[in-house]
Structure 1
Amino acid sequence: MLRRIWVLWIAVLLWPLGLWADPLSLLRPSGQGWDLERQPLVISLPQPLVGKAPVAGSAFGPSLFAGRAEGSFFEPLPPRPEARVRIRGMARVPVDIALVRAMIGRAESPRDGYDAVQHGAKRKPRKKPTQMSLGEIFAWIDATPGQPHAIGFYQFIPSTLARLVTELDLGPEVIFTPAVQDDLANILLADAGIFELRAGQITRHQFMNNLAKIWAGLPTSSGKSHYHGYAGNKATVTWAEFDREMARAFPS
């Protein structure tokens, strides 16, 4: 019962985002930029990263702006249940996944690591993120509207954090430890196609471009962030550096 109340509370917390979402406008009713939560960030993607092409009439279109679906400006990444179950079931973290996560952290939170809070947040949490429970994090988000809330090593924004917490069935009492943050990020790595890369179904560069569609601090093969120019987003590492580190994990 308490878990259901927790999930409902998260949904209520994020519900206003759905009211504000408007693909034809870059402003919220307050006049603030809609993308306050966008620098740096983890986002829900507008289209599948790996697999079949978009179907005519599908909600997953080529545009970054996807309207009101799911209470977000972005369509959620189509779930990859088998990959998610597989990555959650790993007893040990393989070296390649550890290297990928380290690269993401270098791009998103090079200074504060797992205790990083988006620099634009004027009202920061009273405790370090790794000492906070998930309930405390969402309470901080709820109590400090109108500012960025990206948090942790992977700079989760509220909508993505809520989605991943629900996916892993984590309660409000769970502490936002490095291990928990890693588990949340693993779901996104599965969605980005890490197992397809391992199986040779996509190339390393395709996987890198997929990651860049999730984390704005990573560059695409163009050398720029996939979200370059949106709310000041830009890549924080070069493509050469990104490729060099990924080659350590996936040489071929």
Structure 2
Amino acid sequence: MTVAEVQAWQKKVVEQGAKSSAAGFYQIIRKTLSEIVDAGAVLPSERFDKSCQDAAGAYLLRKRGLGEYLSGRKSLDAMMVSLAQEWASFPVPHDMQGSARWVRAGQSYYAGDGLNASGATVADVRAALVESKARFDGPFEVGEPGSGCLGARIVEALANLLKSMFGGK
């Protein structure tokens, strides 16, 4: 499917009453995919394949401050909150106000919505971020919008984070 076809599918399933329109490896919902397209990070005509999805994931990581975290301008806890706000399966690092209610450390930022739950422990995400920062110095690099090009270091950093969430699978 192209990105435009995924967007049409997302619109259709939402209209049919689906609880979620999440699509692809990064489980990108309809509103977020539209934002990514509007920003030019991926093109509607692109195939929604691995490299396109990685470009979308890189956009979201950049938006959430991965570059600032890797360069030391964003704290570990702030990065963890940013990830939890973007991806419901990431846990919040401490008790805090979530999307709709007070959530405890380890819960999804979106806990209580009947749909989302954290898929990793705080310790696993914290360890993955610390390892990523230790291993990846330099700028957060991505290719031109629509090119599908994503810096190999960032793909590896993201893969390490996601692997920590799913037990290394």
Structures share a fold, TM > 0.5?
yes
Partner residue in 2 for 1:137: 6
Match for residue 152 of structure 2? none
Q: Name the TM-score, length of structure 1 as normaliser.
A: 0.45
Structure 1 unmatched ranges of 5 or more = 1-131
Residue matched to 2:124: 241
> Partner letter of residue 135 of structure 1?
A
Q: Does 1:218 align with 2:90?
A: yes
Aligned position for 2:62? 190
Q: In the alignment, which residue of structure 2 is the partner of 1:7?
A: none
Map 1:150-189 onto structure 2 (within 5 A).
Answer: 150-168=22-40, 170-189=42-61
What are the superposed Cα offsets for residues 171-226 of structure 1, whole Å, 9 maximum, x if unpaired? 43210011111111111111211222123222222211211111110001111111
- 2:102 is the alignment partner of 1:230: no
Write the distance in 1 (CA, Å) between the matches of 2:12 and 2:28. Answer: 17
TM normalised by structure 2 equals 0.65
- Which residue of the partner structure matches residue 203 of structure 1? 75
Two-structure CA RMSD over aligned residues (Å): 1.9
Distance 1:250 1:171, change over 3 A: closer
1:251 offset after TM fit, Å? 3.6
What SS class does the counterpart of residue 250 from structure 1 fall into? helix
Structure 2 unaligned regions, length at least 5: 94-104, 136-169
Q: Deviations over 1:98-137 (max 9, x none)?
A: xxxxxxxxxxxxxxxxxxxxxxxxxxxxxxxxxx112221
Over the matched positions of the two proteins, sequence identity in percent amounts to 30
- Show the 5 A alignment for 1:9-28: none
Contact 2:7 2:33 in 1 (8 A): no
**How much does 1:169 deviate?**
6.3
Partner secondary structure for residue 196 of structure 1: helix
Residues 191 and 172 (structure 1 numbering): CA distance in 2 closer, same or farther, change over 3 Å?
A: closer
Please report how far the alpha carbon of residue 231 of structure 1 lies from its aligned counterpart in structure 2 after TM superposition: 2.5
CA contact under 8 A between 1:212 and 1:219: conserved in structure 2? yes
